[in-house]
Chain A
Amino acid sequence: QKEVEQNSGPLSVPEGAIASLNCTYSDRGSQSFFWYRQYSGKSPELIMSIYSNGDKEDGRFTAQLNKASQYVSLLIRDSQPSDSATYLCAAAGGKLIFGQGTELSVKP
């Protein structure tokens, strides 16, 4: 059974802090990795993708991938209350396999 694991949270950070979200995956054949943001009552929205080891930055978001450790992370710098959402990690070796999501709460 291919799995993607995330801490369900909730993760609470103060406004302006760095939020760190983590994810591990079991399928070593996974080639592509994604972070989706899901606001309450809404559909998942793709915010980051990463395909090779290292860091990928896009604005306040940085995705990190370590294939040897089968570990993916998402850093959100200067966290804002509008970042409060559930963040879903997904791994693709064929179809996407999703983690259960981490709820992030950014307190003003």
Chain B
Amino acid sequence: NAGVTQNPKFQVLKTGQSMTLQCAQDMNHNSMYWYRQDPGMGLRLIYYSASEGTTDKGEVPNGYNVSRLNKREFSLRLESAAPSQTSVYFCASSDNTGASRGYTFGSGTRLTVV
């Protein structure tokens, strides 16, 4: 039972480099989410996808782009990384946007931008 799988687990980038964080779920969930977690800040929503083919901005979308490749996969791209994007990134999924049964989280990607 894989649930939500994220890759890579760790990454170090130089300022200005780009990268894509991968996320896939095998629970046939419709909705997927990208959060970042910083000390003392809780989980902040970057982007979400309510269903295949749709994406919307969350609370902190600047500097990021997303692609809902299919129902299983939702990727997050940093086009030009900045030190302020050093964070832990979590992907999550749910079976509906009402979140009535909560979200299932992946194991996270720890990103450092130097």
CB-CB contacts of A27-70 with B at 8 A, as 1s and 0s?
00001101010000011111001010000000000000000000
Contact B100 A43 (CB under 8 A): no
Contact B108 A43 (CB under 8 A): yes
Selected from B48, B58, B90, B98, the residue in CB contact (under 8 A) with A44 is: B90
Alpha-carbon distance A88/B44, docked complex (angstroms): 12
Contact B90 A100 (CB under 8 A): no
B residues near A101, Cβ cutoff 8 Å: 42
User: A43-B107, A88-B42, A100-B42 are contacts. A49–B33 as well, Cβ < 8 Å?
Assistant: no
A residues near B107, Cβ cutoff 8 Å: 42-43
Please choose the segment from A10-18, A76-84, A91-99 that sits at the chain B interface, where 4 or more of its residues have CB less than 8 A away: A91-99
Let me know if B64 is at the binding interface, CB within 8 A: no
B residues near A32, Cβ cutoff 8 Å: 98-102
Looking at chain B, what size class is its interface with the partner chain? 20 to 34
Looking at chain A, what size class is its interface with the partner chain? 20 to 34
Let me know if B113 is at the binding interface, CB within 8 A: no
Let me know if A7 is at the binding interface, CB within 8 A: no
Let me know if B45 is at the binding interface, CB within 8 A: yes
User: A8-B40, A95-B97, A98-B42 are contacts. A90–B102 as well, Cβ < 8 Å?
Assistant: yes
Alpha-carbon distance A92/B97, docked complex (angstroms): 9
Chain A residues in contact with chain B, CB under 8 A?
Answer: 8, 31-32, 34, 36, 42-46, 49, 51, 88, 90, 92, 94-96, 98-101
* 27 A-B pairs (CB sep. < 8 Å): A31-B98, A32-B98, A32-B100, A32-B101, A32-B102, A42-B108, A43-B90, A43-B105, A44-B43, A44-B90, A45-B105, A51-B100, A88-B43, A92-B98, A92-B99, A92-B100, A94-B97, A94-B98, A95-B33, A95-B48, A95-B58, A95-B99, A96-B99, A96-B102, A98-B42, A98-B43, A101-B42
